[in-house]
């Protein structure tokens, strides 16, 4: 929250965008943002676009999320996405699949850092969505994994949602908010995910025209 507020006064440089075009919010994520197992248009990214329209905010959402993607995949895809869409805001929602596959946390950290810096160099503000792992992964690993996000947000001075699945994975109604695979949030959970992102994203958005 504080990181987002601190960045709110910085000027936008999404400079290569066409004059007069709506600024772009680019979401680079995995299945949690790619509407895996959901009806089209019901995921949190689609709800974000709807909320922006209802609030008469001049921004366009591009969902470049890919189910199963890792931070390495996002890092490799990002340069072309930045060149194509010239975003004003980049939302990074990656890392969960790295941990599920047992990939080194150092690689996850390096990939996320590279994505943050590439986005900033392209003139975008960055919002990092933090993740956690289930208790069976052990508290030591979970703390190390969470620290990847909190440390990067502090070091790189970017906005952070500490736990993207807050109120979904850790709430009293968790069992009712997941699909049958117990991994992916269902349609009922999507507004909660958006509400986790919205207050941190809002200070990063360009002023309405």
Each residue's pLDDT tens digit, 140-165: 999 999 999 999 999 999 999 999 99
In the residue annotation, 31 being an active-site residue is answered as yes
- Collapsing DSSP to helix, strand or coil, 99 comes out as helix
User: Could you tell me if residue 205 is inside a domain?
Assistant: no
User: Could you tell me if residue 174 is inside a domain?
Assistant: yes
Q: Are 196 and 166 in contact (CB under 8 A)?
A: yes
User: Could you tell me if residue 208 is inside a domain?
Assistant: no
In the residue annotation, 85 being an active-site residue is answered as no
User: Residue 123 is part of which domain span?
Assistant: 2-8+22-189
Among candidate residues 30, 31, 33, 98, the one labeled active-site is 31
- Examine the pLDDT at 56 and tell me if it is beyond 90: no
- Examine the pLDDT at 178 and tell me if it is beyond 50: yes
In the residue annotation, 151 being an active-site residue is answered as no
Among candidate residues 67, 110, 184, 195, the one labeled active-site is 184
CATH of the domain at 36: 3.40.50.1110
Per-residue pLDDT tens digits for 85-97 = 999 999 999 999 9
User: Could you tell me if residue 203 is inside a domain?
Assistant: no
Give the whole-angstrom CA distance, residue 8 versus residue 30. 27
Helix (H) or strand (E) holding 105: helix 105-121
- Examine the pLDDT at 130 and tell me if it is beyond 50: yes
Task: Using alpha carbons, select from 151, 154, 132 the residue that is nearest to residue 143.
Answer: 132
User: Could you tell me if residue 17 is inside a domain?
Assistant: no
Per-residue pLDDT tens digits for 6-30 = 343 333 344 444 555 899 999 999 9
Number of domains the chain contains: 1
User: Could you tell me if residue 140 is inside a domain?
Assistant: yes
How much is the pLDDT for 209? 61
How much is the pLDDT for 20? 59
């Amino acid at each position: 929250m504080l990181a987002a507020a601190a960045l709110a006064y910085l000027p936008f440089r999404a400079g290569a965008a066409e004059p007069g075009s709506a600024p772009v919010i680019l979401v680079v994520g995995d299945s949690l943002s790619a509407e895996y197992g959901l009806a089209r248009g019901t995921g949190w990214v689609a709800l974000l676009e709807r909320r922006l329209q209802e609030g008469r905010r001049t921004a366009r959402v591009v969902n470049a999320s890919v189910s199963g993607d890792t931070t390495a995949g996002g890092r490799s895809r990002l340069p072309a996405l930045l060149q194509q869409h010239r975003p004003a805001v980049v939302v990074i929602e990656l890392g969960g699949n790295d941990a599920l596959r047992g990939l080194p946390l150092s690689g996850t950290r390096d990939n996320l850092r590279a994505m943050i810096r590439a986005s900033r160099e392209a003139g975008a503000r960055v919002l990092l969505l933090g993740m956690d792992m289930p208790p069976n992964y052990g508290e030591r690993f979970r703390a190390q994994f969470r620290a990847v996000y909190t440390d990067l947000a502090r070091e790189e001075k970017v906005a952070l949602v500490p736990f993207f699945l807050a109120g979904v994975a850790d709430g009293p109604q968790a069992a009712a908010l997941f699909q049958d695979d117990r991994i992916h949030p269902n349609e009922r959970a999507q507004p909660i995910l958006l509400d986790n992102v919205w207050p941190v994203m809002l200070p990063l958005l360009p002023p309405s025209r």
